[in-house]
Structure 1
Amino acid sequence: MTFVTAWRAPWWMIRGEWRAHPARIVTAVIAIAVGVALGLAVHLVNASALDRFARGLALVRGRADLSVTAAGPDGIDERLYPRLARLAGIAAASPVVDAHGALGRDPIEIVGLDAFRAAAVTPGLIPTPAAGQPLTSLLSPQALFLSPAALAGRRLGDVVTIVAGTRTAAWRIMGTVPGAGEGRRIAVADISAAQARLGRAGHIDRVDLKLDADVDADMIAGTIRAMLPRGAVLETPADESSSTDALSRAYRVNLDMLALVALLTGAFLVYSAQALSVARRAPQFALLRVIGGTRSLVLGQVLAEGAVLGIVGAGAGIALGTGLAAGVLRLVGGDLGSGAFADEQAPPLVFAPGAALAFAALGIAAALIGSLLPARAAAAGRPVVALRHGGDAVDPSAKPRIMPALVLAVIAVVLALLPAAAGLPIAGYASIGLMLAAGIAAMPRVARWLLAPLAHARLSSPAAQLAVARLWGAPAQAAVALSGIVASIGLMAAMAVMVASFRGSVDEWLRQILGADIYLSLGGSGAALAPEDQSRLLAVRQVADADFMLQRPLALSPGRPPVILIVRRDPGAAFPAVGRSVPVPAGTVPVWVSEPFSRTFDVAAGDALALPLGPGVRARIAGVFRDYARQQGALALRAADADRLTGERGRSEAAISLAPGTDPGGTIAALRQALPPPLRSVAVIQPVADLRARALAIFDRSFAVTYALEAVAVAVGLAGVAATVSAQTIARTREFGMLRHLGVTRRLIVATLGIEGALIGAVGAVAGIGLGAAMAQVLIHVVNPQSFHWTMTTRWPIGLLSGVAAALVVAASGTAMIAGRRAVSLDAVRAVREDW
Structure 2
Amino acid sequence: MQALSRLSWWLIRAQFTTRRAATLLSMLAVALGVALGYAIHLINDAALADFARAMKSVQGDPDAVIAARDSAGSVPLATLNAIARDPAVLVIAAVIETRVRIDNARTPVTLIGIDVFSAAAVMPDLLPRHNEQAAAPNLFNGGVYASPALLAKLAQRAPDSDSGARPGRTLTLVRGEQQWPATLAGDLPAARPDDLLLVADIAWVQERFGPVDAVSEGRVRLAPDSDLATWRKKWAQQLPAGLLIRVADDDSARVSNLSRAYRVNLNVLALVALLTGAFLVFATQLTSVAQRSTQFALLGVLGLSPRMRLLQVLLEGLAIGVPGALLGLGLGYALAVAFTRLLGGDLGGGYFAGSAPPIIPLPAPALVFLALGCLASLAGASYPAYLNRMQPLAQALKTGFAQQSHADTARATLPRLRLPLFLALAALALAQLPPLFALPLAGYAAIALVLVAGIASAPLLTQLLFGWLSAQALPAPQRIALQNVAQAPLMAQVAASGLIVSFALTASMVIMVSSFRVAVDQWLDHVLPAPLYLRSKATPLPQDLLAALAQPDAPFTRVERMANASLIIDPQRPQVALLVREIDRRDPAARLPVTGPLLAPPATTPAVWISEPMAEIYRLAPGQTLRLPLLGREIEVFIGGVWRDYGRQFGAVVISRQDYQQLGGDFQPTDLALWPRPGEEAHASAWLAPWADQYGLEVADSAEIRRLSLSIFDKSFAVTYALEAAAMLIGLFGLAVTLAASVWLRARELATLGALGFDRRMLSRAVMLEGALIATVGVLIGLACGVGIGAILTHVVNPQAFHWRMALAIPWAALVTGAAITLAAAVLASRHAARQATRLPVAQVLASAQ
TM-score by length of 2: 0.92
| Cα distance in 1 between the residues matched to 2:224 and 2:831 | 78
> Could you tell me which of 470, 485, 503 is aligned with 1:489?
503
Q: 1:80-229 residue pairs with structure 2 within 5 A?
A: 80-103=79-102, 104-132=105-133, 137-140=138-141, 142-152=142-152, 153=155, 154-229=165-240
Q: How far off is 1:646 after superposition? A: 4.9
Which deviates more from structure 2 when the two are superposed, residues 36-45 or residues 70-79?
A: 70-79
Q: Which residue of 2 aligns with 1:547?
A: 560
Q: How far off is 1:460 after superposition? A: 3.1
The amino acid across from 2:540 in the alignment is A
Q: Secondary structure of the residue that 1:19 maps to in structure 2?
A: helix
Q: How far off is 1:592 after superposition? A: 0.7
The 1:271/1:410 distance shift into structure 2, 3 A limit, reads: farther
The amino acid across from 2:613 in the alignment is P
Q: Which residue of 2 aligns with 1:586?
A: 603
| Cα distance in 2 between the residues matched to 1:407 and 1:295 | 35
> Could you tell me which of 230, 233, 246 is aligned with 2:257?
246
Q: Which residue of 2 aligns with 1:369?
A: 379
Q: How far off is 1:667 after superposition? A: 3.1
The amino acid across from 1:92 in the alignment is V
| Cα distance in 1 between the residues matched to 2:728 and 2:550 | 53
Q: 1:594-743 residue pairs with structure 2 within 5 A?
A: 594-614=611-631, 615=633, 617-664=635-682, 666-675=683-692, 677=694, 679=695, 681=696, 683-743=697-757
The amino acid across from 2:388 in the alignment is A
| Cα distance in 1 between the residues matched to 2:251 and 2:582 | 32
Q: Secondary structure of the residue that 1:385 maps to in structure 2?
A: helix
Q: How far off is 1:173 after superposition? A: 0.5
| Cα distance in 2 between the residues matched to 1:721 and 1:31 | 13
Q: How far off is 1:607 after superposition? A: 0.8
The 1:827/1:325 distance shift into structure 2, 3 A limit, reads: closer
Q: Which residue of 1 aligns with 2:51?
A: 53
Q: Secondary structure of the residue that 1:234 maps to in structure 2?
A: strand
Deviations 1:722-741 (A, max 9, x none): 22223323543322110122
Kept in 1, the 8 Å contact 2:280–2:730? The answer is: no
Q: Secondary structure of the residue that 1:628 maps to in structure 2?
A: coil
Q: How far off is 1:372 after superposition? A: 0.6
Q: Which residue of 1 aligns with 2:483?
A: 469
- Residue 528 (structure 1) aligned with residue 540 (structure 2): yes
| Cα distance in 2 between the residues matched to 1:684 and 1:722 | 55
Q: How far off is 1:137 after superposition? A: 2.3
| Cα distance in 2 between the residues matched to 1:99 and 1:205 | 8
RMSD: 2.3
The 1:369/1:375 distance shift into structure 2, 3 A limit, reads: same
| Cα distance in 1 between the residues matched to 2:459 and 2:561 | 62
| Cα distance in 2 between the residues matched to 1:714 and 1:212 | 59
The amino acid across from 1:269 in the alignment is L
The amino acid across from 2:762 in the alignment is L
Q: Which residue of 2 aligns with 1:505?
A: 519
Q: How far off is 1:298 after superposition? A: 1.6
Q: Which residue of 2 aligns with 1:447?
A: 462
The amino acid across from 1:121 in the alignment is V
Q: Secondary structure of the residue that 1:283 maps to in structure 2?
A: helix
Q: How far off is 1:165 after superposition? A: 4.6
Q: Which residue of 1 aligns with 2:162?
A: none
- Residue 360 (structure 1) aligned with residue 370 (structure 2): yes
Q: 1:299-314 residue pairs with structure 2 within 5 A?
A: 299-314=310-325
| Cα distance in 2 between the residues matched to 1:659 and 1:39 | 54
Q: Which residue of 1 aligns with 2:159?
A: none
| Cα distance in 2 between the residues matched to 1:119 and 1:744 | 89
Kept in 2, the 8 Å contact 1:261–1:433? The answer is: no
Deviations 1:532-565 (A, max 9, x none): 3223245574422222222212112322221010
| Cα distance in 2 between the residues matched to 1:327 and 1:643 | 49
Kept in 2, the 8 Å contact 1:44–1:322? The answer is: yes
The 1:330/1:304 distance shift into structure 2, 3 A limit, reads: same
- Residue 382 (structure 1) aligned with residue 395 (structure 2): no
| Cα distance in 2 between the residues matched to 1:406 and 1:22 | 40
Gaps of at least 5 residues in structure 2 are 156-164
Which deviates more from structure 2 when the two are superposed, residues 715-724 or residues 699-708?
A: 715-724
Deviations 1:119-153 (A, max 9, x none): 2222221222221479982221x321111111222
Kept in 2, the 8 Å contact 1:64–1:121? The answer is: yes
Deviations 1:694-740 (A, max 9, x none): 11111111111111111211222222222222332354332211012
The 1:102/1:477 distance shift into structure 2, 3 A limit, reads: same
| Cα distance in 2 between the residues matched to 1:228 and 1:530 | 35
Q: How far off is 1:99 after superposition? A: 1.1
Q: Which residue of 2 aligns with 1:781?
A: 795
TM-score by length of 1: 0.94
Q: How far off is 1:826 after superposition? A: 4.4
Q: How far off is 1:585 after superposition? A: 0.9
Kept in 2, the 8 Å contact 1:448–1:475? The answer is: no
Kept in 2, the 8 Å contact 1:481–1:725? The answer is: yes
| Cα distance in 2 between the residues matched to 1:374 and 1:827 | 26
The amino acid across from 1:527 in the alignment is T
The amino acid across from 1:381 in the alignment is Q
| Cα distance in 2 between the residues matched to 1:474 and 1:447 | 6
Q: How far off is 1:439 after superposition? A: 2.3
Kept in 1, the 8 Å contact 2:492–2:742? The answer is: no
Kept in 1, the 8 Å contact 2:440–2:801? The answer is: yes
Count of aligned residue pairs for this structure pair:
825
| Cα distance in 2 between the residues matched to 1:504 and 1:311 | 43
Q: How far off is 1:69 after superposition? A: 0.5
The 1:409/1:271 distance shift into structure 2, 3 A limit, reads: farther
Q: How far off is 1:281 after superposition? A: 3.0
The 1:102/1:269 distance shift into structure 2, 3 A limit, reads: farther
Q: How far off is 1:787 after superposition? A: 1.0
Kept in 2, the 8 Å contact 1:67–1:206? The answer is: yes
Which deviates more from structure 2 when the two are superposed, residues 4-13 or residues 704-713?
A: 4-13
Q: 1:280-299 residue pairs with structure 2 within 5 A?
A: 280-299=291-310
The 1:820/1:559 distance shift into structure 2, 3 A limit, reads: closer
Kept in 1, the 8 Å contact 2:339–2:347? The answer is: yes
Gaps of at least 5 residues in structure 1 are none
Q: Which residue of 1 aligns with 2:24?
A: 26
> Could you tell me which of 765, 770, 773 is aligned with 1:756?
770
The amino acid across from 2:500 in the alignment is V
Q: Secondary structure of the residue that 2:232 maps to in structure 1?
A: helix
| Cα distance in 2 between the residues matched to 1:309 and 1:317 | 12
Q: Secondary structure of the residue that 2:848 maps to in structure 1?
A: coil
Q: Secondary structure of the residue that 1:393 maps to in structure 2?
A: coil
Q: Secondary structure of the residue that 1:302 maps to in structure 2?
A: helix
Q: Which residue of 1 aligns with 2:341?
A: 330
Q: Secondary structure of the residue that 1:68 maps to in structure 2?
A: strand
Q: Secondary structure of the residue that 1:79 maps to in structure 2?
A: helix
| Cα distance in 1 between the residues matched to 2:17 and 2:514 | 42
| Cα distance in 2 between the residues matched to 1:817 and 1:42 | 35
